[in-house]
């Protein structure tokens, strides 16, 4: 199972998902109205690298991070 | 060198230590940017979450970029609460050349603002309020959204 | 604030003091540029002459310019000998805004290089050798010349 | 008498001159070969303000400074 972490202000517990790619993750989230508000403005990293492609293959043990807008400093 | 601290930064200690550490290494220019929490909007301070693995990757790629120009970057940042008039952030560049140092610090600080995986909250009446309006979306944000 | 010192600058003391003095004044950004004497061309160090009245005028006009953007400039410089790996020059900007601070420090340091009435010498074998090749002519240079 | 100061590396003692403008100063210096090397690359300040005009009127007590190329920092 891959692990999904919600970072910063999203305030959700991590979850385990059984998926082959990010499209399947998008599908899992599609009816979660509250999460959609975050997903609209959040980036996605797989194993700590930002990704741009939903076809990105997800392996077991992969770590998926959901990153809302940032403001350091 | 990337340094993360719980709470506010000891600016005097950090700047002095960096200067001592690098002054004999033949860099002609040492430039640093210190961020100090401003008193505004009735906040008591700011608070920060950091996603360290990605911040370390971001910083390493910057170190490579600086190295190609003969320079070095340093950074310190706070995790958690930092009160008004305390400091949360220092970036620095060491370079043999003045021009490289002045350009790099600008690029480094601006890229930090746009891309470092850090979340900022206002501290108001004991609560953390996400500074959403001042925050910037990372590249390719929204790809998991089913809306629009 | 313009500070002139005989010999090298105590960088740790100066940066710490400036930070302490201004951290509660609600500037969000403190940026400073420190010049360190590089070991090159077999020099023992550098030496500086300063024409103080004109330097003070130049600095005052810069303070006015910074003030219009809500900012403040600070500077420290050495007079006389400064050995290799010691520091001779610090410029700093305090500003409520990050962007103003980053732009002003660049303009301030570059204008300093072009217009501050300071003369630099290499210290070589106990002698002062005017660094003519690295020096820049001030505006309207040559008006008293009868040549060419 | 106005006073002329030679700054930085020029290494000349200050001198007193009786002149009405900078043109007259230029004339005083015209046969000083060694000084000409400096004047070619030097700026001029009157009472600590850089000047661009040789017609600039010089009063008694004025201070004229000769400033060779600079390099701070």
Look at residue C96 and tell me if it is in a domain: yes
Chains B and C touch (3+ CB pairs under 8 A): yes
Partner residue facing B146 (CB), from A30, A43, A52: A30
C-alpha of A66 from chain center: 4
CATH number at residue C103: 3.90.1170.40
Per residue in C36-60, pLDDT (tens digit) is 999 999 999 999 999 999 999 999 9
Partner residue facing B119 (CB), from A40, A44, A71: A71
Q: Are B119 and B135 in contact (CB under 8 A)?
A: yes
Cβ-defined contact of A9 to B130 (cutoff 8 Å): yes
Per residue in B4-60, pLDDT (tens digit) is 999 999 999 999 999 999 999 999 999 999 999 999 999 999 999 999 999 999 999
Q: Are D8 and C51 in contact (CB under 8 A)?
A: yes
pLDDT at B148: 66
Look at residue B131 and tell me if it is in a domain: no
Per-residue pLDDT, averaged over C118-128, amounts to 96
pLDDT at D49: 95
Chain B with chain C: Cβ pairs closer than 8 A: 99
pLDDT at B62: 98
Look at residue B92 and tell me if it is in a domain: yes
- Pairwise CA distance, residues B91 & C101, whole Å: 13
Please give the share of chain C, as a percent, with pLDDT higher than 90: 97
- Pairwise CA distance, residues C103 & C68, whole Å: 14
Cβ-defined contact of D40 to C138 (cutoff 8 Å): no
Q: What are phi and psi of A68, to 5 degrees?
A: -70, 175
pLDDT band at A73 (very low <50, low <70, confident <90, very high): very high
Partner residue facing B140 (CB), from A43, A48, A66: A43
CA distance A61 to chain B (A): 16
Task: Name the residue in chain C with its Cα closest to that of B102.
Answer: C106
Helices within D1-73 (DSSP H only): 22-29, 33-39
Q: Which domain holds residue B116?
A: 2-122
Q: Which of A51, A48, A71, A58 is nearest to A25 (CA)?
A: A58
Look at residue C108 and tell me if it is in a domain: yes
CA distance A1 to chain B (A): 19
pLDDT at A66 > cutoff 70: yes
Partner residue facing A42 (CB), from B130, B131, B141: B141
CA distance C93 to chain D (A): 16
**Can you read off the two tokens belonging to residue B133?**
């309006």
Look at residue C142 and tell me if it is in a domain: no
**What sign has the CA pseudo-torsion C124, C4, C99, B140?**
positive
CA distance C46 to chain B (A): 13
Partner residue facing D40 (CB), from C48, C50, C145: C145
pLDDT at C76 > cutoff 90: yes
Chains A and D touch (3+ CB pairs under 8 A): no
pLDDT at B44: 97
For C41, counting Cβ atoms within 10 Å of its Cβ (0-12 exposed, 13-18 middle, 19+ buried), the class is exposed
Look at residue C145 and tell me if it is in a domain: no
Look at residue C134 and tell me if it is in a domain: no
Cβ-defined contact of C105 to B101 (cutoff 8 Å): no
pLDDT at C148 > cutoff 70: no
Q: What's the ipTM? A: 0.94
Cβ-defined contact of C49 to D7 (cutoff 8 Å): yes
Number of domains comprising chain B: 1
pLDDT at A17 > cutoff 80: yes
- The number of C-alpha atoms within 13 Å of A2 and in the hemisphere containing its C-beta is 20
State the pTM of this model: 0.95
Q: Using alpha carbons, list the distances in angstroms from residue B132 to A42, B27, B39, B129, C27.
A: 12, 39, 18, 9, 22
Look at residue C76 and tell me if it is in a domain: yes
pLDDT at B74: 98
Per residue in B93-131, pLDDT (tens digit) is 999 999 999 999 999 999 999 999 999 999 999 999 999
Q: Which of A23, A69, A22, A68 is nearest to A46 (CA)?
A: A22
Chain C with chain D: Cβ pairs closer than 8 A: 120
Per-residue pLDDT, averaged over B120-147, amounts to 96
Cβ-defined contact of A72 to B77 (cutoff 8 Å): yes
Cβ-defined contact of C119 to D9 (cutoff 8 Å): yes
Q: Which helix (H) or strand (E) holds C6?
A: strand C2-6
CA distance B60 to chain C (A): 23
Partner residue facing B88 (CB), from A29, A65, A73: A73
Per residue in D2-37, pLDDT (tens digit) is 999 999 999 999 999 999 999 999 999 999 999 999
The domain ranges of chain D are 2-67
Per residue in C128-146, pLDDT (tens digit) is 999 999 999 999 999 999 9
Find residue B78's DSSP bridge partners. Answer: B5
pLDDT at C11: 98
Task: Share the mean pLDDT of chain A.
Answer: 96
Task: Name the residue in chain C with its Cα closest to that of D26.
Answer: C144
- Pairwise CA distance, residues B91 & C32, whole Å: 11
Task: Name the residue in chain B with its Cα closest to that of C91.
Answer: B31
**Can you read off the two tokens belonging to residue A6?**
């919600």
Fold of A2-67: Ubiquitin-like (UB roll) (3.10.20)
Cβ-defined contact of A9 to B77 (cutoff 8 Å): no
């Amino acid at each position: 199972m891959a692990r999904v972490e919600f970072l910063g202000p999203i305030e959700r517990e991590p979850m385990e998902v059984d998926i082959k790619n990010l499209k399947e993750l998008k599908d899992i989230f599609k009816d979660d109205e509250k999460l959609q508000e975050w997903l609209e403005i959040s980036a996605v990293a797989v194993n700590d690298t930002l990704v741009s492609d939903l076809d990105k293959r997800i392996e077991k043990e992969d770590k998926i991070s959901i990153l809302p807008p940032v403001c350091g400093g | 060198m990337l340094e993360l601290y719980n709470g506010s930064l000891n600016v005097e200690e950090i700047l002095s230590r960096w200067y001592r550490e690098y002054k004999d290494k033949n860099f002609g220019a040492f430039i640093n940017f210190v961020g100090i929490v401003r008193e505004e909007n009735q906040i008591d301070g700011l608070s920060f979450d950091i996603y360290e693995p990605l911040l370390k990757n971001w910083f390493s790629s910057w170190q490579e970029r600086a190295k190609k120009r003969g320079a070095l970057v340093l950074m310190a940042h706070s995790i958690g609460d930092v009160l008004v008039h305390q400091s949360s952030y220092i970036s620095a560049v060491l370079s043999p050349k003045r021009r490289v140092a002045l350009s790099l610090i600008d690029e480094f600080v601006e890229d930090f603002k746009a891309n470092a995986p850090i979340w900022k909250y206002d501290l108001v009446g004991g609560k953390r309020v996400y500074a959403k309006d001042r925050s910037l979306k990372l590249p390719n944000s929204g790809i998991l959204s089913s809306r629009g």
